[in-house]
Structure 1
Amino acid sequence: MNRRPLVIAAATVGALATAAFALPNLPPNPVTDAVHARVSKEKGKRFAAAADAPTRAGAPFALPSWIPKDATDVRIRVRTTGGSRLIRFTLGATPLDGPQCGAAATKQPGAPDLHAKWWPRSLRSEVRPECRDARQYQVAVRGKRVYAWTDGAPSPTAP
């Protein structure tokens, strides 16, 4: 009896199973980023400072205008098939301030539907809506660290 086809099939299944478990836990690199972008329809980027991010409004990783220019350690995750975004950054000398959305002004976006290892598990108690961009964002501030997310809903104050 020829066992070679069985050995090849078992090795292939083992390699695919190992890849399925290992890929999500590997550090970011061009290969894992490409696979993750195709499978989950999400992409992520990291900038040392907000000034390093693209400024063109239509760019996939362009930051909202309300993020201070001196913010550092900026991470952004976007859904490639919609308007959902996660943004995390550290405040510099410029505080996070500006107009707030009224509670009745718009439907509150729910919990983010994107996932990232750098995103905290719960932010419910610190959430306040912000409306300073074309999109409605929810923002939570923990010390100097700011977390913001949107499901792509337009801001009620947007032109």
Structure 2
Amino acid sequence: MATKKPVVLGLAVGGLGLLVAAALTMPQVVDWYQGRHLAEAEYSSGSEAKKSRDSVPRWLPDEATAVKYRMSTTGGDRLLKATLADGKLPAGCKQGAGSGRAHLRADWFPKGTDKEGTAACGAYNVVLKGTDLYAWQDHADWVKAKQAGSDAP
């Protein structure tokens, strides 16, 4: 019987070690899994962004600068940041917050911004902070726009 205690203790310590290792690596595995369905790019202008990628919204002004764009490749979730020289909403955008929340994250998209939406541009929710436009699209809003026949990506 004396030999069972070290074996049981060894198994317990080993099992605990495996649990700790799993807890430490799980966030990286989740990030990897989610990240493999994302595309991100930066563009010098709105015109360049729209020429490069069909999914960039057509309402983005051609003269917008410092465009950053992140998208899900398996759905309609999107993030967008652009600088607008005049700091005004693009043509066709309407005042009034939309319904969707941002499901993507990016270091250039301030946390909590998706709770500040003050306008809608196509299926995107938008907030202006000075001359910076932050926009996000929720997958569910994207699906609704597609079903309604909207030409907005």
Pairwise TM-score range, normalised by the shorter structure: 0.5 to 0.7
Q: Is the 8 A contact 2:114 2:136 kept in 1?
A: no
Larger radius of gyration: 2
Structure 2 distance, partners of 1:86, 1:142, is: 15
Report the 3-state secondary structure (helix = DSSP H, G, I; strand = E; otherwise coil) of the residue aligned with 2:51: coil
Aligned-residue sequence identity (percent) comes to 28
Structure 2: tracts of 5 or more residues without a match: 1-20
1:54–1:127 Cα change, 3 Å: closer
Report the 3-state secondary structure (helix = DSSP H, G, I; strand = E; otherwise coil) of the residue aligned with 1:140: strand
Structure 2 distance, partners of 1:101, 1:143, is: 16
| C-alpha displacement of 1:82 | 0.6
RMSD: 3.2
Structure 2 distance, partners of 1:46, 1:126, is: 23
- Equivalenced residues, count: 119
Structure 1 distance, partners of 2:35, 2:134, is: 25
Q: What whole-Å deviation, never above 9, does each CA across 1:22-50 have from its counterpart, x for those lacking one?
A: xx8xxxxxxxxxxx587441110000111
Report the 3-state secondary structure (helix = DSSP H, G, I; strand = E; otherwise coil) of the residue aligned with 1:139: strand
Report the 3-state secondary structure (helix = DSSP H, G, I; strand = E; otherwise coil) of the residue aligned with 1:53: helix
Structure 1: tracts of 5 or more residues without a match: 1-12, 25-35
| C-alpha displacement of 1:125 | 5.9
Kindly indicate whether residue 41 of structure 2 is the aligned counterpart of residue 45 of structure 1.
yes
| C-alpha displacement of 1:129 | 3.6
- Residue of 117, 141, 144 corresponding to 2:128: 141
Q: What whole-Å deviation, never above 9, does each CA across 1:106-157 have from its counterpart, x for those lacking one?
A: x711x2111111110122563124143xxx1110100000100001323468
Structure 2 distance, partners of 1:99, 1:48, is: 22
Relative to total residues, which structure has the larger helix share, 1 or 2? Answer: 2
Normalised TM-score (structure 2): 0.62
Structure 1 distance, partners of 2:87, 2:110, is: 23
Kindly indicate whether residue 102 of structure 2 is the aligned counterpart of residue 108 of structure 1.
no
Moved more, 90-99 or 66-75: 90-99
Normalised TM-score (structure 1): 0.60
Q: What whole-Å deviation, never above 9, does each CA across 1:53-86 have from its counterpart, x for those lacking one?
A: 2438xx45x4211111110000000011111100
Q: Is the 8 A contact 1:86 1:150 kept in 2?
A: yes
Moved more, 118-127 or 83-92: 118-127
Give the match for residue 67 of structure 1: 60
